[in-house]
Amino acid sequence: MNVVVCVKQIPDPAAPPALDPGTHNLVRSGKLILDDSDAYGVEMALQLVDAAGGGEVTLVSMAPNGETSGLRTALAMGAAKAILVSDETLAGSDALGTAKVLAAAIRRAEPDLVIAATESTDGYTGTTPVQVAELLGLPSVTFAKKVEVDGQTVKVERQTEAGYDEVTSPLPAVVTVTAGVVEPRYPSFKGIMAAKSKPVDTLTAADLGLDGSQVGVGGARQEIVSVVEAEARSAGEVVVDEGDAHERVIQFLEQLKIL
């Protein structure tokens, strides 16, 4: 079974994020890393291919400046190869533009299953994978907390407001996984060395038959009007516990008439 995993390469979430004051786009100039949310998808895909007894995992990513460091991390985990779409015309793409690029790249890999995360750490629109599914004409199951493949059927436990649903879908399909679906492995030293020589196919938007009216700023058809500081919630009283801090909590709850 061949699985494509969409992996986003993002600025280190530990570093303070910033918007470009001119374009209002998220600044992505520094080194990018594998979005932690996608490590779950990579692990899930590796396990499903293992269980199927054959096939391989292909990564698909759209990122600026030919960035591959996040891809190398996922290749080191065990993915076989990657398709990277990187091109200046893609800057400023919104979720739908991104989905057009990913869908066109995925089509080349002809996968049995496409896996993505429910939402990215930096963009968190959470719509890209479903848009990809629609563009590819595939069924989709989002918010998977358990995934199994049985022949030509994928079986998913999908989170709901009330609990979870058991959902089945014929393959090929798009599945989005939540954090916690599996425990991602750490790349081994051997894996890291092997990743250096695994193939990364780098494409431009034009290679995929997409132009500036569909992707990038031109395709976005939405704009940021303003960015302002939110009304800050100020920190209140801080008490260091000396064995009696619970009394202050009780007092506070009494003031609020909770007690």
Partner 1 sequence: MSIATIWVLAEVADGKPTTTSLELITQARALAGTVEAVAWGPATAEIAGALGEYGATTVRDIGDIGDALPGVPVAAAIAGAVSAGQGPDAILFPATYDGRDIAGRLSAKLDRPVLTNVVGLSDDGGLVSQHAIFGGTQVVTARFTGEGPGIFVVRAKSFAAEPSGGAAAAVVPLAGGETGATNTATVVARHVEERSGPKLDEADVVVSGGRGLGDKDSYAMVEELASLLKGAPGASRAIVDAGWVPYAYQVGQTGKTVKPTVYLACGISGATQHLVGMKNSKNIIAINKDQDAPIFTVADLGIVGDVHKVVPKLIEALKARG
Per the listing, tokens 């209140």 go with 236
Mark the segment that binds ligand FAD (CB under 6 A) among 49-57, 102-110, 117-125, 197-205: 117-125
Choose among partner 1, ligand FAD, ligand AMP, none what residue 259 binds, the Cβ cut-off being 5 to 8 Å by kind.
partner 1
Selected from 92, 126, 191, 212, the binder of ligand AMP by CB under 6 A is 126
Closer by beta carbon to ligand AMP, 49 or else 116:
116
Q: Among residue numbers 36 through 55, which ones bind ligand AMP (CB under 6 A)? A: 37-38
Burial 193-230 (b: 16+ CB within 10 A, else e): eebeebebeebebeebebeeebbbbebeeeeeeeeeee
Q: Among residue numbers 169 through 198, which ones bind partner 1 (CB under 8 A)? A: 169-170, 173, 178-180
Distance CA 247, CA 253 (A): 10
Tokens of 42: 């990579």
3-state secondary structure of 245: helix
Q: How many residues bind ligand AMP (CB under 6 A)?
A: 22
Mark the segment that binds ligand FAD (CB under 6 A) among 119-127, 130-138, 149-157, 183-191: 119-127
Selected from 25, 121, 125, 127, the binder of ligand FAD by CB under 6 A is 121
What lies within 8 Å, CB to CB, of 106 at 6+ separation is 4, 6, 60, 114, 132, 136
Q: How far is the CB of 191 from partner 1 (least distance, A)?
A: 24
Distance CA 231, CA 226 (A): 15
Question: Binding of ligand FAD at residue 119 (CB under 6 A)?
Answer: yes
Tokens of 248: 């202050």
Is the sign of the CA dihedral 29, 7, 125, 186 positive or negative? negative
Q: Among residue numbers 15 through 44, which ones bind ligand FAD (CB under 6 A)? A: 36-37
Question: Binding of ligand FAD at residue 127 (CB under 6 A)?
Answer: no
Mark the segment that binds ligand AMP (CB under 6 A) among 121-129, 143-151, 234-242, 245-253: 121-129
Neighbours of 169 (CB within 10 A): 18
> Which residues contribute to the site for ligand FAD (CB under 6 A)?
36-37, 119, 121, 124
